[in-house]
């Protein structure tokens, strides 16, 4: 889009009320003279049921809240745009990644994972980094985090993870803290969490501002070009403001003084014209190199080291406008890793595959029915035309009597969606296998990359990690959980395990070797699967 004419902002403009002293009306357009006093039967008499002005005001108020997100409930958003530096047509036919003259409108929502909607901005936690691109070919969502790896490898475990992370069911404690028994119990029984957890215990776990965070798509996705060729791709956001973390003590003090610390910073920066910017980077792996790495590209607890595949910077995102209304935009936006456009496709990462189900499913209840794509912030720039109809909160008014396919009556009927060339087609991946409930052995090396990460830190950063584990585990009441964690740290680094062990008065013990490759079903230590790649 040309300067000042962001098509998404223009589209949203059609839904906005003026805020300049219009006559107050009811929801049905009737002018209201007094919405401050109830209609009474006499000056000191009872309130009357016929008072439709009172009833409407109160009913709407009574229903103001919608359920908060099951995870990532606390968030802050902003509008902006993305512009490409160089065409990626060699790899992908996605138009917004082909043409450097196109500015694609975006809305970004940053979030914490654990806390509720009103919780503090600065706990030690993973941060969500979700970007909706309103492209000419429909909405593309890159729903990532500020760390390049996830806690678990299979979406089947997501409810367990979240139940362990969230406040405990009997007393709803703690609101927003990593330090609690259920979280560390789960982690200590699930070695696959180690990589994400060591990032979370590092300075990345408490970003200085939302503007100073990196973002990662985490999963390996596919780029598909015009010829139908596939390349694997991982996405990175690199902040031009630099990557900064808060020290733990600093975060504690700030959280006590201003629970909106990150939200306020983002709002004020944009308000003052200090627009935050991120460059988009990609790591591209040819299809034929799928098996050349010492880890599995489908494993979301692994990153591709930049020394192996450099990050190619391809464009820049600028956030330059605060939302007009938090609820209408930041709260009602619905991201989904399944929102892709032609030129981008999925892989068989079992975490990604499960996410493809979960997001729409949760949004059906969070946003009340199947038409939430018609809420202004969720609308695509291209018109939506298909044979879906009706449902709660339908806002579109489709014309014509035909809403099925095939039919012989829809000549000239705009409601009829014909199947035409040029639409999305899935990458034709060969599948020829047994149907089994399993985890691939190629996912079983849980410690090499945490070790790589720990070794990449400077001395003071390592100290922060040691202190974070010592502090968090020091709050865990059950000693066997502490012991299991110290044992697990020994698999990462002996100095780290000893430092944390010293603090807790525990001696790290080697895990039994070789360790079975079975998934720990009953939580027994013997079942740890810490298979190391040969």
d(C-alpha 464, C-alpha 478), whole Å: 23
State yes or no: residue 145 binds ligand HEM (CB under 6 A).
yes
Among 8, 79, 109, 204, binds ligand HEM (CB under 6 A): 109
The DSSP H or E segment spanning 232 is strand 230-239
State yes or no: residue 358 binds ligand HEM (CB under 6 A).
yes
For residue 281, report the phi and psi dihedrals to the nearest 5 degrees: -120, 155
> 207 by DSSP, 3-state: which?
strand
d(C-alpha 473, C-alpha 155), whole Å: 26
Among 193, 220, 219, which Cα is nearest to 126's?
Answer: 193
Give the C-alpha distances (Å, rounded to integers) separating 212 from 127, 191, 209.
12, 29, 5
Site pattern 217..236 for ligand HEM (x: CB under 6 A) = -xx-----------------
State yes or no: residue 116 binds ligand HEM (CB under 6 A).
no
Q: Is 291 a catalytic residue?
A: no
State yes or no: residue 237 binds ligand HEM (CB under 6 A).
no
Size of the site for ligand HEM (CB under 6 A): 29
How many residues appear in the chain?
534
d(C-alpha 423, C-alpha 421), whole Å: 6
d(C-alpha 355, C-alpha 342), whole Å: 19
State yes or no: residue 465 binds ligand HEM (CB under 6 A).
no
Three-class DSSP labels, 188-257: HHCHHHHHHHHHHCCHHHCECCHHHCCEECCCCEEEECCCCCEEEEEEEEEECCCCCECCHHHHHHHHHH
Annotated catalytic residue, options 6, 139, 145, 322 = 145
Whichever of 334 and 504 has its CB closer to ligand HEM, that residue is: 334
Give the C-alpha distances (Å, rounded to integers) separating 203 from 124, 195, 247, 450.
9, 14, 7, 15
The DSSP H or E segment spanning 468 is helix 459-474
State yes or no: residue 142 binds ligand HEM (CB under 6 A).
no
Among 105, 123, 128, 207, binds ligand HEM (CB under 6 A): 128
State yes or no: residue 88 binds ligand HEM (CB under 6 A).
no
Q: Is 139 a catalytic residue?
A: no
State yes or no: residue 355 binds ligand HEM (CB under 6 A).
yes
State yes or no: residue 351 binds ligand HEM (CB under 6 A).
yes
Could you tell me which stretch among 2-10, 138-146, 283-291, 519-527 binds ligand HEM (CB under 6 A)? Answer: 138-146
Q: Tell me how many degrees the CA angle 285-291-293 measures, rounded to the nearest 5.
A: 75
Among 362, 371, 498, 516, binds ligand HEM (CB under 6 A): 362
Give the C-alpha distances (Å, rounded to integers) separating 401 from 398, 405, 411.
9, 12, 11
SS3 breakdown of the chain: % helix, strand, coil, rounded to 5?
A: 30, 15, 55
Residue with the closest Cβ to ligand HEM? Answer: 128
Strand partners, 129: 110, 144
Could you tell me which stretch among 139-147, 232-240, 441-449, 469-477 binds ligand HEM (CB under 6 A)? Answer: 139-147
Whichever of 211 and 482 has its CB closer to ligand HEM, that residue is: 211
State yes or no: residue 147 binds ligand HEM (CB under 6 A).
no
Among 150, 186, 453, 469, binds ligand HEM (CB under 6 A): 150
d(C-alpha 182, C-alpha 500), whole Å: 19
Could you tell me which stretch among 144-152, 402-410, 441-449, 500-508 binds ligand HEM (CB under 6 A)? Answer: 144-152
Could you tell me which stretch among 16-24, 197-205, 351-359, 506-514 binds ligand HEM (CB under 6 A)? Answer: 351-359
Site pattern 185..204 for ligand HEM (x: CB under 6 A) = --------------------
CB of 72 to ligand HEM, least distance (A): 3
State yes or no: residue 354 binds ligand HEM (CB under 6 A).
yes
Among 143, 449, 151, which Cα is nearest to 304's?
Answer: 449
Site residues (vs ligand HEM, CB under 6 A): 69-72, 75, 109, 111, 128, 130, 143-145, 150, 155, 158, 218-219, 300, 333-335, 351, 354-355, 358-359, 362-363, 366
Catalytic sites, residue numbers: 72, 145
């Amino acid at each position: 889009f040309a300067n000042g004419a962001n098509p998404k902002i223009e589209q949203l403009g059609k839904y906005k009320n003026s805020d300049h002293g219009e006559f107050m009306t009811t929801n049905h357009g009737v002018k209201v003279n007094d919405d401050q006093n109830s209609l009474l039967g006499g000056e000191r008499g009872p309130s009357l049921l016929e008072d439709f002005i009172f009833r409407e005001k109160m009913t709407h108020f009574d229903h103001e809240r919608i359920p908060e997100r099951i995870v990532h409930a606390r968030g802050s958003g902003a509008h902006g745009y993305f512009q490409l530096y160089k065409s990626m047509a060699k790899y992908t036919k996605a138009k917004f990644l082909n043409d450097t003259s196109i500015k694609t409108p975006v809305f970004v929502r940053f979030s914490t994972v654990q806390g509720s909607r009103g919780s503090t901005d600065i706990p030690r936690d993973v941060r969500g980094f979700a970007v909706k691109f309103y492209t000419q070919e429909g909405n593309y969502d890159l729903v990532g985090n500020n760390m390049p790896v996830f806690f678990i490898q299979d979406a089947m475990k997501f409810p367990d993870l979240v139940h362990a992370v969230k406040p405990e069911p009997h007393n709803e404690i703690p609101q927003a803290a990593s330090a609690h028994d259920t979280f560390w119990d789960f982690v200590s029984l699930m070695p696959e969490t180690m990589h994400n957890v060591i990032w979370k215990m590092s300075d990345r776990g408490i970003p200085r501002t939302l503007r100073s965070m990196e973002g990662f798509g985490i999963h390996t996705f596919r780029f598909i070009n015009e010829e139908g060729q596939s390349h694997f791709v991982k996405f990175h956001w690199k902040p031009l403001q630099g990557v900064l973390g808060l020290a733990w003590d600093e975060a504690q003090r700030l959280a006590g003084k201003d629970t909106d610390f990150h939200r306020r910073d983002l709002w004020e920066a944009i308000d003052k014209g200090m627009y935050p910017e991120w460059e988009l980077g990609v790591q591209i792996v040819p299809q034929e190199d799928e098996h050349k790495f010492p880890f599995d590209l489908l494993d979301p607890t692994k990153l591709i080291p930049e020394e192996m595949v450099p990050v190619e910077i391809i464009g820049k995102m600028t956030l330059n406008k605060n939302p007009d209304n938090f609820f209408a935009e930041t709260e009602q936006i619905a991201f989904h890793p399944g929102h892709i456009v032609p030129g981008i496709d999925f892989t068989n990462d079992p975490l990604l595959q499960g996410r493809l189900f979960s997001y729409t499913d949760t949004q059906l209840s969070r946003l009340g029915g199947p038409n939430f794509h018609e809420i202004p912030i969720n609308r695509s720039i291209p018109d939506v035309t298909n044979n879906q109809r009706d449902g709660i909160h339908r806002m579109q008014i489709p014309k014509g009597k035909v809403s099925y396919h095939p039919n012989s009556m829809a000549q000239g009927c705009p409601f009829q969606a014909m199947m035409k060339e040029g639409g999305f087609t899935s990458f034709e991946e060969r599948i020829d296998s047994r149907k089994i409930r399993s985890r691939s052995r190629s996912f079983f090396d849980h410690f090499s990359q945490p070790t790589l990460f720990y070794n990449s830190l400077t001395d003071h950063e390592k100290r922060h990690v040691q202190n974070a584990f010592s502090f968090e585990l020091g709050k865990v009441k059950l000693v066997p959980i502490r012991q299991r964690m110290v044992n697990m740290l020994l698999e990462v680094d002996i100095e780290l395990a000893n430092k944390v062990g010293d603090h807790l008065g525990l001696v790290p013990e080697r895990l039994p070797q070789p360790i079975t490759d079975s998934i720990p079903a009953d939580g027994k230590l013997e079942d740890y699967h810490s298979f190391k790649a040969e």
